[in-house]
Amino acid sequence: MLSIIILAAGQGTRMKSDLPKVLHKLAGKTLLEHVYISASRLEHTKINIIYGYGGQKVPDTLSHLQANWVEQTEQLGTGHAVNQVLGDIPKTGKILILYGDIPLITYETLSELVESSSDSGFSLLTTYIDVPSGYGRIVRDEVGNLIKIVEEKDADDEQRKICEVNTGIMAVEASLLEGWLRNLDNNNIQGEYYLTDIVEMAVQQGIQIKTISPGSVMEVKGINDRAQLSELERYYQLIQAHHLMKNGVTLIDPARFDLRGDLMTGEDVEIDVNVIIDGSVSIGKNVIIGSNCYINNADINDGTVILPNSYIENAVIGRDCKIGPFARIRPESRLDDNVHIGNFVEIKKTEVGKGTKINHLSYIGDSSLGKNINIGAGTITCNYDGANKHKTVIEDDVFIGSDTQLVAPVTIKKGATVGAGTTVTRDMESGELMHNKIEHRSVSNWKRPVKK
């Protein structure tokens, strides 16, 4: 039986932010969610999260997490924080303690840590860091047994030279932890109740604490300021990029690719530089995405080409479509196969049937378009009367000339034709042609005015 505790009550002074530190985002998810996701893969009974700084902001923002939220009204130290939740935790079984600001810890490392605590009842995750400043140092005796942890601020010069550091992450028997926490004091430089002091208590009780190391030191790097946040962001992005490449995606430059969510890909996808994928996105086989595209919560099917500088949000794009360059596909849009959306075209809440082309400079919103329609350059659906939105319906095989306004609600039936520059204010019949009556005035040999 495993209970999990995530400490997340601190402010994070060095972030210089109103937002509690654990709500800052890494690859589109909050730091706390990263920790939660890795921890929740372990077989466990409950995840307890200690929050404090920012009041209800943390539990409110992350209310979708299944957790026991426990408030620590005053942040009196990591030991004090764990004490807040002890009453909610079974007295037998193991406890895993994690920090909300160490986001890249993996499930694999955590399960090894929990497993290894079975022998003595206490396992600690430590690592070696070249410049260990800021971390608690691991003090060992002459035969290498762990004897205590000294916080940097309390350490002497010799202890500061130690490069083995406390990650803060530990697995411990519930029955042991309770007694130690009761005996913590705050007689140290920071006047805090240090969780790390339980190490010395355990050693005095004759417990041999097992230490293990993470697969990579990046897993246990804590975030204290925005520079560290960006360092972990880049590291994590590269890991994701390599995972995609392994699955058959060509990334022209993995250092200039950002995934802030979950991406499913088919084989032979090619992604050019500076593409951002956000939310939940799926991309089919043989899809090409040009440079500088932003794609959020979309489904892009096989063989489609997205040309540079396109923006796609909450949309489904069929097979073999050609989108962009400079196209904007807004939420609730569904494009069927073989659709072409060209430059400076905005599509919103619209269905577009197979083979329809909207190639230049248009706004099509709140509309339903059939198959094989050609929409000329500069066509606007006038969907808004200042108070309400109205629908435009365009049936199969319609031809709309350039610079046309379709004043909704309006329906244009199958095969109808609209001449260039027309303002359509009523429904059109199937096969009908509508154009503005234009009287041309013509002067032969016209002399242009000359400058006086």
Q: What is the greatest pairwise CA distance in the chain? A: 110
C-alpha 190, offset from chain centre: 35
Interacting stretch for ligand UD1, rule CB under 6 A, among 99-107, 272-280, 309-317, 405-413?
A: 99-107
Interacting stretch for Ca ion, rule CB under 5 A, among 79-87, 210-218, 220-228, 444-452?
A: 220-228
Closest contact distance (angstroms) between CB of 169 and Ca ion is 12
Of the residues 12, 20, 214, 222, which one makes contact with Ca ion according to CB under 5 A: 222
Binding-site residue total for Ca ion (CB under 5 A)? 1
Closest contact distance (angstroms) between CB of 373 and ligand UD1 is 56
Q: Per CB under 6 A, does 8 bind ligand UD1?
A: yes
Q: Are 356 and 399 in contact (CB under 8 A)?
A: no
Of the residues 72, 83, 292, 301, which one makes contact with ligand UD1 according to CB under 6 A: 72
User: Which residue number, 22 or 416, has a Cβ lying nearer to Ca ion?
Assistant: 22
User: Which residue number, 222 or 376, has a Cβ lying nearer to Ca ion?
Assistant: 222
Residue nearest ligand UD1 by beta-carbon distance: 136
Q: Are 328 and 348 in contact (CB under 8 A)?
A: no
Residue 360 appears among annotated catalytic residues: yes
Interacting stretch for ligand UD1, rule CB under 6 A, among 75-83, 228-236, 346-354, 373-381?
A: 75-83
Q: Per CB under 6 A, does 355 bind ligand UD1?
A: no
* Assigned token pair, 12: 């994070």
* Assigned token pair, 200: 């010395």
C-alpha 119, offset from chain centre: 38
User: Which residue number, 222 or 401, has a Cβ lying nearer to Ca ion?
Assistant: 222
Closest contact distance (angstroms) between CB of 99 and Ca ion is 7
Of the residues 76, 105, 300, 347, which one makes contact with ligand UD1 according to CB under 6 A: 76
Closest contact distance (angstroms) between CB of 93 and ligand UD1 is 22
Q: Which of 24, 64, 80, 360 is catalytic?
A: 360
Angle between helices 31-40 and 107-116 (to 10 degrees): 50
Which residue, among 262, 326, 261, has the nearest Cα to 290 in the 3D structure? 326
Closest contact distance (angstroms) between CB of 194 and ligand UD1 is 4
Q: Per CB under 6 A, does 136 bind ligand UD1?
A: yes
**Ramachandran sector of residue 243 (left: φ over 0; alpha: ψ -120 to 50; beta: rest):** alpha
Q: Are 271 and 253 in contact (CB under 8 A)?
A: no
In sequence order, what DSSP letters do the residues of 389-452 get, joined into one string?
B--EEE-TT-EE-SS-EEESSEEE-TT-EE-TT-EE-S-B-TT-EE---------TTPPPP---
Closest contact distance (angstroms) between CB of 120 and ligand UD1 is 20
Interacting stretch for ligand UD1, rule CB under 6 A, among 98-106, 154-162, 284-292, 407-415?
A: 98-106
Q: Per CB under 6 A, does 184 bind ligand UD1?
A: no
Give bridge partners of residue 93 from the DSSP assignment: none
In sequence order, what DSSP letters do the residues of 129-163 get, joined into one string?
-SS-TTSPEEEE-TTS-EEEEE-GGG--HHHHT--
Q: Are 323 and 341 in contact (CB under 8 A)?
A: yes
x/- mask, ligand UD1, residues 220-249, rule CB under 6 A, reads: --x---------------------------
User: Which residue number, 169 or 341, has a Cβ lying nearer to ligand UD1?
Assistant: 169
Which residue, among 303, 302, 298, has the nearest Cα to 276 in the 3D structure? 298
Say how far apart CA 344 and CA 171 lie, in whole Å.
56
Residue 81 interaction partner, one of Ca ion, ligand UD1, none, beta carbon < 5-8 Å per kind: ligand UD1
Amino acid at 396: D
Give bridge partners of residue 139 from the DSSP assignment: 148
Say how far apart CA 336 and CA 405 lie, in whole Å.
24
Q: Per CB under 6 A, does 83 bind ligand UD1?
A: no
Of the residues 48, 123, 196, 338, which one makes contact with ligand UD1 according to CB under 6 A: 196
Q: Per CB under 5 A, does 365 bind Ca ion?
A: no
Of the residues 194, 257, 311, 363, which one makes contact with ligand UD1 according to CB under 6 A: 194
Which residue, among 231, 268, 233, has the nearest Cα to 251 in the 3D structure? 268
Q: Per CB under 6 A, does 372 bind ligand UD1?
A: no
Give the interface with Ca ion as residue ranges (CB under 5 A): 222
Q: Which residues bind ligand UD1 (CB under 6 A)?
A: 7-10, 50, 72, 75-78, 80-81, 99-101, 135-136, 149, 151, 165-168, 194-196, 222
Annotated active-site positions, please? Answer: 360
